[in-house]
Chains A and B, each alone.
Chain A
Amino acid sequence: MKTCLTAIISSLMIFSPMAYADKWSDQFPHIKATGDIPGDCSYEKMSKKNYKGKTLKINTHAIPVMGEPTALHAEQFEKLTGAKVEVTHTPAGDLYSKAMVPFQAGQAPYDVVFGFSNFINDWKRYLAPVPKKYMNSPEMKDVTKSHMGVSSWDGTMYQYPVDGDRHYLKYRKDVIDNPEMQKKYKADTGKELKVPTTWKEYGEMAKYFNGWDWDGDGEKEYGSAEVMKKDDLMFAAFFSRSVAYAKNPRTPGGFFFDLETMKPNINNPGFVEALTDWVEATKYVPPGGTNFGLGDEIGSFGGGQTLFSFSWDDAFIAAMQDDSPIKNKVGAAPLPGANKVWNRVSNSWENQYNQAPYIVWGWAVGVAKKSKVKDMAFDYLCFFSNGANHQADLAIGRFGVNPFKNSDFDPNIYINSMGWDPEIANSYTKTLLDMEKSNNRVFPLRVPGVFEFTSAVATGTSKALAGQLSPQEALDEVAKEWEAIVSRVGKKAVQDAYAVGVKMEDNKL
């Protein structure tokens, strides 16, 4: 009897955390894989807050990307705290202006505003810094250094980390690792079929695998799916292709501009080489591929239409979802590099291998300085990204929530809760983790009037892709426009802001 009682008590003690977790996952099935995970903003902790009679207003993206998790966590937050949460969904292109217009008019119609991390310079004067109690929380300590940097401005965090973004290469593992394909490729081209490490190799392989049915599904497949549609994030795709040729670790002091003179680097031979490659890429994208936005890219690669893709995580996650025809047939790798890199100081090419990760901008969220419910707003954001919610959100591709915590780089998360092949989970987490460790990273441009700069890049590069201008002419036009913008905004204002990003790129922050 005594033994039996001891066993029961022991069992209760051992399984009590599980029972504790079940209590919340029963009520909130979204976190059924993990249950509640203890932390400062866990379900348990939030249930002890009382925000009855208070209203929180949120402006977020349209459903599903980021809009769906915002609404879901708002509903959960309401149930736990008694607060009323009003969520407004806005198309991506209007997120900036929808917050900026009232900000500039001195109003705060929204307490919480979602946007992109590169809005930070324009938004920071209207946002409340993240309070110390959240900065010191274990969850925040788990955020990677890169994403702490992306969310902060000169040491002060204005955007609460809820997402982590970077561009990397996605490829069809079942083709690249296939011995038969390797043999065929070797016989036809005399070259090895392997994960491309340079953009030239990427182009050669993509061209070879363009326009024929290489996976035997009865449909033609193509070389690469890329974001090439004008104004639809295409500038970020161009920068991803440029970093290999133009981010030289031996010439610190600016990737986009020369920090000292603020002369744009955008039309130097490094960027021109990248744009020349990109124009060439129009020959190995699917029909209509030069009009692909991010959604098309995700659908194309995720649906098994192309051999390669590169940009945000979403295409990879879509390819690895249960309903994908290519689940566990894809691989992740760093962005390709180049066998030469431009040295803007000596004005010459350095003939040595170069690779640079692009820690691209992603989803970001802040609390309006003029909000009357700042405490509740920060609690909501802390709850949004608590351990249980974050892990559950990561598993759903359409949510657009990607790894930004050190603990996210544990491959077991993806193997156990998402059914990924261990080899793929390992290559995925290693790719992301290696980017964090690199000391040749490029961060997004975050200067006043950032949209004027990126819009000029989109216009110039799209003219080159459409054949309206040569790559050199297109980038000369962009450089001229950038100089005009710097002069309009004020050289000092842009220089001071750019210096903060350069410090991160030069590993001094």
Chain B
Amino acid sequence: MNFKHKYFFLFPGLFVLIGILIFPIIFVVRLSLSGWNSYNPGLDYIGLENYIRLFTDDPRFWESFFRLSFLSVTTVILQYVIGFALAHMVWKDIKFKRFFRVLFLVPMMTTPVIMTVIWRTFFHESLGPVNDMLSVFGVAPKWLTDPVIAKFTVIIVEVWQWTPFMFLLLLAGLLSLPKEPFLAAAIDGASPVRKFIYVTFPLMAPISIGAIIIRLIEASKIMDTVYVLTSGGPGTSTETSSFYIFIKGLREFQMGYAASMSFTYLIIMIISLTIIAKVLTKVLLKE
């Protein structure tokens, strides 16, 4: 076979890669250097104007970014703790193990937008069942209209929806662990807590890092929950980066500016997730 023929077989994959990954990124970069908006359509060239505006005159973008950081880190930590606890529970020999394994996955299988609409109905402060039940105890939290509580409402919905994903990854990890270290710990008479701290948790560290990073990538794109639940409100208290970019791009039709925000956001996320992965590896794997 001619050596060059090998390259021929690479072309389909290469075309797909260029078409669905490289071209959109290049287009976003080009778009970010244009002033494309509703009254000025087209890829004109305005240099770094959009980036200058973003870095010098748009505190709302940075506020939404820090808010997103808070929301995504908090939700992922909670998802990890709850997901690990649930995975650990059904990893053991308990009754109805299979039933619980399936049950815990149900939230992830539902459509996020539909579920958020249902959560919004639950948390409706005058017509929803949550406050109706809580009224027995004389409390009626402002789930969606208090700037602080609304953030926690978003966190509750996100944790409910995505903990199963964490559960699934961690359960797969637990099931793949070797049995010998646990046998050794049992022979040494280690208590369940010690067994968890000194055997299970360290063995799960590489899987935990992977699961946390995957979830952080996903959580940093929180959009549908915010869109349906609060529209970023009250005020701007639940506005995240992706929701803000959506408003600028598809509501206000500032395509060029939204592209500059998207690209900046992509760069920030690549850098910060790389740092987080390094730190987690260092801490959990004690490298």
Residues of A within 8 A of B (CB): 93-94, 96-97, 100, 104, 122, 222, 229-232, 286-291, 300, 305, 448-449, 451-452, 455, 459, 462-463, 465-469, 484, 488-489, 493
Contact = CB atoms under 8 A, between A and B. Distances in A.
A468 B126 contact: no
B39 A463 contact: no
Contacts of A291: 125, 144-145, 230, 233-234
12 contacts: A97-B251, A97-B253, A100-B38, A230-B231, A230-B234, A231-B233, A231-B247, A451-B38, A459-B236, A462-B234, A466-B235, A484-B57
A455 to B, nearest CB: 5
- Residue of B39, B41, B142, B251 most packed against chain A (CB within 10 A): B39
Main secondary structure of the interface of A (DSSP, over half): helix
A122 B38 contact: yes
A448 B38 contact: yes
Contacts of A463: 235-236
Contacts of B242: none
Nearest to B37: A449
Nearest to A456: B252
B125 A288 contact: yes
Interface string B45-79: 00000000000010010000000000000000000
A462 B125 CA distance: 18
Nearest to B235: A466
A455 B38 CA distance: 14
Given A287-B142, A291-B230, A449-B38, A468 B251 contact: no
Interface string B121-149: 00011111001000000001011110100
Contact of B232 (A230, A451, A467): A230
Given A448-B38, A493-B39, A305 B247 contact: no
A283 B57 CA distance: 34
Contact of B233 (A94, A100, A222, A229): A229
Given A288-B124, A305-B126, A468 B235 contact: yes
A469 B59 CA distance: 15
The size class of the interface chain B forms with chain A is 20 to 34
Which of A288, A455, A468 has the most chain B CB atoms closer than 10 A to its own CB? A288
Complex A-B, nearest 7 residue pairs according to Cβ-Cβ distance, in ascending order: A288-B125, A466-B235, A466-B234, A230-B233, A448-B39, A104-B41, A287-B125
B202 interface: no
Residue from B60, B144, B232, B253 whose CB has the most chain A CB atoms within 10 Å: B253
Nearest to B144: A291
B208 interface: no
Interface of B: 37-39, 41-42, 57, 60, 124-128, 131, 140, 142-145, 147, 230-237, 247, 250-254
B39 A290 contact: no
Given A122-B39, A288-B142, A93 B251 contact: yes
Contacts of B145: 288-291
B102 to A, nearest CB: 33
A231 B231 contact: yes
Nearest to B150: A291
A153 B142 CA distance: 45
Given A448-B38, A451-B252, A465 B231 contact: no
A466 B253 contact: no
A452 B252 contact: yes
A287 B232 CA distance: 19
B147 to A, nearest CB: 5
B39 A449 contact: yes
Contact of A489 (B39, B142, B247): B39
Contacts of B60: 459
B125 to A, nearest CB: 3
Given A448-B38, A493-B39, A465 B251 contact: no
Contacts of A489: 39
Contacts of A459: 60, 236
Contacts of B144: 288, 291
Contacts of B140: 287
Contacts of A287: 125-126, 131, 140, 142
B253 A231 contact: no
A495 to B, nearest CB: 13
A290 B231 contact: no
A104 B247 contact: no
A125 to B, nearest CB: 10
Contacts of A94: 250
Contacts of B236: 230, 459, 462-463, 468
Contacts of B128: 288
A290 B251 CA distance: 22
Nearest to B42: A104
- Most chain B CB inside 10 Å of its own CB: which residue of A289, A488, A493: A488
A476 B228 CA distance: 29
B147 A466 contact: yes
A480 B128 CA distance: 39
A484 B257 CA distance: 14
The listed residue with most B CB atoms (<10 A of its CB), out of A97, A122, A287, A448, is A287
Contact of A452 (B41, B233, B237, B254): B254
A305 B126 CA distance: 10
Given A104-B42, A448-B38, A455-B252, A290 B232 contact: no
Contact of B147 (A93, A122, A451, A467): A467
Contact of B126 (A289, A449, A466): A289
A15 B252 CA distance: 55
Given A231-B247, A288-B143, A488-B37, 4 more contacts: A229-B233, A230-B236, A231-B231, A462-B235
A465 B231 CA distance: 14
B252 A288 contact: no
A47 B188 CA distance: 91
